Amino acid sequence: MTTPHTPDSDPDTPQAIHRRITENLNALLPTDPTHPPHPYIRHHLMDHAVQGHAVDDHHIPADFIPWDQHHHIRNALGLPITPTPTTATLAAWAHVEPYLNDTSPATRALSLDFARTITNQPPQHRSHSPGLRPTWAHWTTTPNILAHNEKPITTLTRLPLPDGRTLLATGSIDGRVRLWDPATGTQVGNPLTGHDGWVWAVAAVPMPDGRTLIATGGDDGRVRLWDPATGTQVGNPLTGHRGGVWAVAAVPMPDGRTLIATGGDDATVRLWNPATGTQIGNPLTGHDGGVRAVAAVPMPDGRTLIATGSDDGRVRLWDPATGTQVGNPLTGHRGGVRAVAAVAVPMPDGRTLIATGSIDGRVRLWNPATGTQIGNPLTGHRGGVVAAVAVPTPDGRTLIATGGIDRTVRLWDPATGTQIG
């Protein structure tokens, strides 16, 4: 009787070959944990382990982990990090790795010992720092940290790619834009550099050719376009704002084009054609303070309006096709409006509401068709509300998520005006 071959039993499959390479590289690791492994092992041990289905504590020994500085382990485990009996040490490392950056192997080894102690694992018998070994810890590692940036992050957006993946794009006070893979928590490519000053706004801009570009606005008063596939800037910066650019949004038009709307410290809203890099029409004026938030609002009649929030405490609606204001300003906030989001509520008339957040700590809902507020303000934040986004749920509802300077994120049901959870 002939025994059928399986991928694990056939020694010539790529998986089996990479598994053997992993085991052979393990045999070449230095016996002294303070001695660096060969550069090939440091760079490729994890690659062979991944392809050999050998990502576990046996094939990736604890003495090797502090030498891996390429996010390979976190990438291989993916998110969320779920420890198993065979990956307990790797999972402990993945929890703390984002915070360590370019620290020394000795520091990284000590951090691994702390992480192991937190998860009630026995200490290592060998150590890069034999004089210091943690034996207990009262804190816990945070399981939902996606990535750790060296500088504070000021803005974030979802970036869909043509291949079906979704990345995250962030802007920071260091003037750089970074791309992250939410499945692994690792940075994709090098930072996008060019802004002179803080990056305040990031938006995904779908193009007619199927690409999705990134539009960013910063303290330098410029709007820049980037191709995430190549990590390069597209065309020249879009210039015109006299002051920092605080808000950027993609605006789909009925003719199939996508425009870019930007709001600036100069109290103007400007429209741009990303395909040509030129401004469309005159600036939209009317606000008496810097424009801090911009959102595209689809209407039941097929139009897309632009909603803007300003330091003057008002929300204004604009028709990008004509460059004119629609209706009267939406008034009610008692402080600058820092967040605006379109919220599609499942109703027979296909209405889209507008959610706004203000320094007054309140979230308000508006009907853009009538210019009236819906219900009472949503209260709960203990401080200004600086971010808002619509969140579709699997059951067909659309919720609102808001972020505040009280360091909380809150969920609201726009149909009832109540906080969830």
Report which of residues 97 and 391 the model is more confident about. Answer: 391
Q: What is the pLDDT of residues 86-141, one digit of tens each?
A: 999 998 888 888 777 778 888 888 888 888 887 777 655 455 555 556 655 666 66
* Strand order through the sheet with 315-319: 291-298, 304-310, 315-319, 324-325
Q: Which tokens in the block code for residue 52?
A: 């050999």
Give the pLDDT mean for 38-66. 91
Q: Tell me, what's the pLDDT at 178?
A: 93
Q: What rounded mean pLDDT belongs to the chain? A: 88
Comparing CA positions, the residue from 173, 177, 256 lying closest to residue 213 is 177
pLDDT level of residue 142 (50, 70, 90 thresholds): low
Query: What are the boundaries of each domain within the chain?
Result: 14-118, 153-285
- What CATH architecture does domain 153-285 belong to? 7 Propeller (2.130)
Comparing CA positions, the residue from 41, 79, 40 lying closest to residue 61 is 41
Q: Please give the model's pTM, rounded to 2 decimal places.
A: 0.78
Q: What is the pLDDT of residues 350-382, one digit of tens each?
A: 678 999 999 999 999 999 999 999 999 999 999
* Phi, psi (deg, nearest 5) at residue 46: -65, -35
Q: What is the pLDDT of residues 248-272, one digit of tens each?
A: 999 999 888 999 999 999 999 999 9
Comparing CA positions, the residue from 196, 266, 187, 185 lying closest to residue 224 is 196
